[in-house]
Each structure stands twice: as structure tokens, then as C-alpha cells.
Amino acid sequence: MTLERAMFYLMSLVALSSGIYIAASRNLVRSVFMFFVTLMAIAGLYVLCMADFVAITQVVIYVGGVLVLIIFAFMLSGRETLSGLQQLNNKFISIHKVPAFLLTILFFIVMVNVVVKGNVNGIPWTAKAVLSGNVIGAKDTTVNNIGINLMGNYLLPFEIISILLMMALVGAAHLSRKERGI
Amino acid sequence: MLIAAGLFAFSGLFALFGVYAERKVSAFIQDRLGPMETGKYGVLQTIADVIKLLIKELIIPGAADKWLFMMSPAIIFIAVYMGFAAIPWSSGLAPSNINLGLYYIFAIISIETLGILMAGWGSNNKYSILGAMRSAAQIVSYEIPAGFAIISVVMIAQTLDMQTISAQQGILSAEHTKFLGIWDVTNVGGILSWNIFRAPHLIIAFVIYFIASLAESNRAPFDIPEAESELVAGFHTEFTGMRFAFVFLAEYSMMFLVSMIAAVLFLGAWNTPLPNLGVVRLADWTTGVAWGIVWLAVKALALVGIQMWIRWTLPRLRVDQLMNLCWKILTPLAFACMLISGVWRLWVM
């Protein structure tokens, strides 16, 4: 077993087990902190896919941003509200869980189909790219490539995302603004 | 493994030295003597402190979330410690030479916030939670001007590789270096080819980064997360013994790490400050692997010295003043620096 393969299984194991802990744990705050472990493991998987830029971006945005904001929300809401949330019906089988159950089953079927029918080793375009040498090595810089593609092929989606973020910013600023005369 | 152990030993030794220096500097500024009893001039004081911390009892408060409380000092320290992995010490001498080094450090440092929040929540103490919230709010906001100051350097350097950024600022540069965009100093080197002089608006970016880095390492005048007069000790109120030592170690390593980043990005990294003057080839004589380590260490230690000087000179900022400074002054200035960088790269360099 090569080192890469060993790392892949290790990262996957960490990601899966921490994910299960997040879903099963009753302690909300602990599951949020466990989410950090999941995110780091997934970042490791990205690195193994030679998407190091994506891996680091994931850490910056999710760990440095999203996770901190979630914890902030917890801290502002206080312990009593949280313990109230944790006392809600925790029976394993109940009518509330039918939609979630259906969704998971359907998603699981989709995933199994992808794995069984995907034939990951024989996709034509990857074979063609390997033949023509259009691949990225472990030591190559990916940033330049990403920049050129964002400003070229994917300019429209990039701009649409920026407008979406702009709308969110304006909305947040409007909501947090003080009303005059009160 | 050896490098990792070496870096760990280094950050430990630096914290020892840093605490001693901090005490002596504060004593000098306040016209006192500082520690004088343990050893000559009190040089053994911090070693005695470490022994005291090692033999102290580890207390876990009854109401604390045990796991979060125990894990958080480790996460805070490891986040800072991993940042050192990508810092170049000299030409061809870096623990890990990755081509996204700068971005990696930026990401790793942001994990520290999570550790602080974990400590605050895990302690289950009013002061700790308040301190952790203040700290997270402060770090998250000050990451923005710091990030834009860094981006304005990256736009000039055109790379995220710390080693390439360093090499560009001296006589080993592969491309032409111009002092203030007019005078070709590729063979002169020295202080003239540092980033802050290659593009003068980076002086502003440097100041912005320095202020933001003070806030990110929770140093005065931005130390409201651990404001002694209001919050006892902020997020690390409940920590004792080795756990407290780790939080402290993280703080001092963070000071050194941000100073090193500032030195690498703005102050010529491991390049000598002495230029070649005609036949007196000062820059050629003072460039080399060993010299590089010396220069970088001197620059970083000088910045740490300034951090201490500021801590004992300026009063603490209030929360609203802190946020005003960040969002109304530093962020627009950093944006302006970024714009100038683009123009400078396209038309001047």
C-alpha cells in the first residue's frame, strides 16, 4: 500500500467517523467543533487530489469563517436555549423523521449508482488528457491556471457569484442599521 | 521530524526569551528594574517560571466541557506552530517549500480563532466566553485589512511562494528590480530592493499589516480579549499549569510568526539591508545561507521589539474604537493599496 493510499483511507476514516459523530451527538456545540475535524480531513482529501488551492480555500472559508460564525450564534443564544433544543424528541423512530429518512435513502441510492456505474478508471476525456499531456503534476502551480480560467471560461458564473455576495452584504448592512428616530 | 522538533524547540526557546525580554522592556519603559533576583539580572526568571508551570496541578473546572477544555490549548498552539512550516529562513532553506506558502499560512492562522472560541466555550465561565467572543470578532475583522495588505504584496510579487517573494527582494533576484520604479537596482540590492521601496505604497500596506497583526495576536493596544481590568484574563482565565503554558507559548510564537511574515513580505526577507556601493560590494559580502538566517532573525526580532514597545506605551482601545479603526480606516486604505499595486505592476514595474 502506497503512502498516498494509506493517507486516503486515513482521511476518509476520519471524515466519516467525525461526520457520524456530528449527526449522532446530542451536544450541539461539540458537534460543531467536530465539524472542524471533518473539514480538515476533507481538506486533506483535496490535497491528495492535487487541489491544494481548493483545500486551503476550504480551511479559510469554512474553518475561519463559517464555523466561527456558527459558534458565534451559539454563544449569543446562551446555554438555556441550547439545552431546550437538545431536549426535543430524541426517539430513534418517529413520524418527524420520515422525510429525512426518505431523502437519505434516495441520496444513498444515487451514490451507489454513481460508484457502480461510473467506471471512474475508464472515462474517455481523462484518458485523452493523459495522452496529450494536459495534466497537472504534484509540483505545478495551480493558482495561475485558476486565475486565467476564472477570468476567461468561467467569467459569467464568477460575476454572478460576486453579485450574489454583494446582495448579501447590502442586505446585512441594511438589517443591522439603526432605525432613525427611535 | 528533525525540522519539526527543531521548530518546536525554537518556539519554546523564543517564548522563554520573549517573556524575559517583555519583562525587561516593560520595566525599562516604566522606569523599574524588572526581575533581578533569579540569576544575574534575573536571566533565570523565566526558566523558574516554566518549572513552576510544569509542576502545577492541572485543574478542570466542574462545569467545564471537559474535552473542549482539554483540547483547546493544543489547537491554539498547533495552529500557530504549523504556520512556521512554510516560512523561509534563508535562500534554499525552508522547512517546507510549498508554492502556496503564503496562502497556507493565512489559512492556518485562522484556525487559532477556533481554538480560542473552544477555550472560551469549554471553560464555561462568563469572562472566558466574553473574552473568546471579543477575540473572535477582532481576529475575523482584522483578517480583512491584513489580507488585502498581503494581496497588494502578492500583486507586486506575482507569486504566493514565500521563497520566490524573498528572492525577488535582493541581489539574487531573477527579474529586474527597480527602486521606486525608476532606478534599476538589480545589482545594487540591499535596502533599496526591499518590497517597501520597490513599490512605495507598500509602506502603507506594511503599517496596515503590522497593526492588523497586533490585533490578530491579541497584543495591546488590541488586547481587549484578555483585558485584565475587565475580564480577569479573558479566554484563558480557567487554564492552569501546562495548558496555560501552551496558551502563552502560542501567543509568543504568534508574535514571532507575524513578525516573520511581515519581514518576508515587506522588509526584504533574508536579504541584507546593505547595498553594493561601487567597489565596496557590501551586499555580495553579506549574502549567504548563514547571513540569511541572521538577517531574517534580526528583522523579526526588531519587529517583536516594536510590538513590545507599543504594548507598554499605548492604552487599550475600546471595542467600538477598535471596530472603527478596522472598518473605516484600515480596510479602505488596504483596498487603495491593492488598487495602486495593480496599476504599479502594469505601468511602472
pLDDT for A159:
92
Let me know how long chain A is. Answer: 182
Contact status, residue B121 vs residue B61, Cβ threshold 8 Å: no
A38, pLDDT greater than 80: yes
pLDDT for B240:
76
pLDDT for A93:
65
pLDDT for A79:
66
User: Would you call B107 and A59 a contact, using CB atoms and an 8 Å cutoff?
Assistant: yes
Pick the residue with more confidence: A15 or B118?
Answer: A15
CA angle A27/A30/A31 to nearest 5° reads 85
* pLDDT per residue as tens digits for the range A71-89: 887 777 766 666 666 665 5
| DSSP strands (E only) in chain B | 178-179, 183-184
User: Would you call B100 and A143 a contact, using CB atoms and an 8 Å cutoff?
Assistant: yes
Q: How far is B320 from chain A (nearest CA, A)?
A: 15
Contact of A77 with chain B, judged by CB distance below 8 Å, is answered with no
Name the residue facing A64 among B65, B98, B107 (closest C-beta): B107
Chain B residue numbers with beta carbons less than 8 Å from the beta carbon of A73 are none
Name the residue facing A72 among B107, B136, B161 (closest C-beta): B136
Query: Complex ipTM, two decimals?
Result: 0.78
pLDDT for B69:
83
DSSP state for residue B236 in the 8-state scheme = G
Report domain extents, chain A: 1-85, 122-182
Chain B residue numbers with beta carbons less than 8 Å from the beta carbon of A71 are 114, 117, 121, 136
Ranges of residues in chain B whose predicted pLDDT is under 50: none
Question: Across all residues in chain A, what is the average pLDDT?
Answer: 82
With H, G, I as helix, E, B as strand and everything else as coil, classify residue B90: strand
Name the residue facing B107 among A29, A60, A139 (closest C-beta): A60
User: Would you call A65 and B140 a contact, using CB atoms and an 8 Å cutoff?
Assistant: yes
A162 falls in which pLDDT band (50, 70, 90)? Answer: very high
Q: Which of A43-47, A62-66, B238-242 has the highest mean pLDDT?
A: A43-47
pLDDT for B277:
76
B269: left (phi over 0), alpha (psi -120 to 50) or beta: left
pLDDT for A81:
67
Q: Which residues contact B165 (CB under 8 A, 6 or more apart)?
A: B102, B153, B157, B159, B195, B264, B265, B269
Chain B residue numbers with beta carbons less than 8 Å from the beta carbon of A27 are 65
Contact of A36 with chain B, judged by CB distance below 8 Å, is answered with yes
A1-85: CATH class: mainly alpha
* pLDDT per residue as tens digits for the range B23-53: 888 888 888 887 877 778 877 888 888 888 8
Name the residue facing B114 among A29, A53, A63 (closest C-beta): A63
A181, pLDDT greater than 70: no
